[in-house]
Amino acid sequence: MPTHRRTVLKGAMGLIGVLAAGSPAWADAPRTLSLHNLHTGEALRATYFEAGQYVPDALEAMNHLLRDHRTGQSHPMAPQLLDLVTTLGHRLETGSTVQVISGYRSPASNAALHEASGGVATHSLHMQGQAMDIRIPGVELAHLQNAALGLGLGGVGYYPASDFVHVDVGRVRRW
């Protein structure tokens, strides 16, 4: 007989498979995400998808929360990125608020960061609203990285010295 943990894990794996396959079952499931922007101190818990469609007001609130904290500029974030982070939380079996180090990055901010560090890509997906640098309280960084890699839904960067994992909805890769 399966344990409760195995049952929950099987359910999370099923959700991941549904998301990856684009199944109608995932299309109907409400999606709620809880984020905390560490640079602005702002937090938001919003259901950004329900009744088979993305919720424009919730997406706009997410875009604002994930804005470039250096310039104040916001940009539409890829809904697939929000889906990836939501699925990651399910896979990790945590309801914890996701701490955001970086969401959208303006071209000016990205260029300044690139100048200061060789670890910032010139054409970062942050500038397209397709990447987030995150951590989740109570989840070891290496476990977060492995869970993100296991999704196989985009790029995953591991930055233990800076205490975050980069996730994006670009091509599948790791660093």
Q: List, in order, residues 6 or more apart from 58 with CB less than 8 Å away.
A: 46, 47, 48, 49
Out of 7-16, 85-94, 128-137, pick the least confident: 7-16
For range 24-44, the mean pLDDT = 89
Q: What are the boundaries of each domain within the chain? A: 4-174
Q: Using the predicted structure, report yes or no on whether residue 118 has a pLDDT greater than 80.
A: no
**CA distance readout (Å), 141 to 111, 131, 157, 161, 164:** 27, 17, 11, 10, 7
- Does residue 152 surpass a pLDDT of 50? yes
Query: Could you tell me the fold of the domain covering 4-174?
Result: Muramoyl-pentapeptide Carboxypeptidase; domain 2 (3.30.1380)
Asked if pLDDT for residue 165 goes beyond 80, the answer is yes
CA distances from 25 to 31, 89, 109 (A): 12, 18, 39
pLDDT at 25 over 70: no
pLDDT: which is higher, 27 or 97:
97
Least confident of 8-12, 84-88, 101-105: 8-12
**Per-residue pLDDT reduced to its tens digit, 37-61:** 999 999 999 999 999 999 999 999 9
Residue with tokens 């195995």: 6
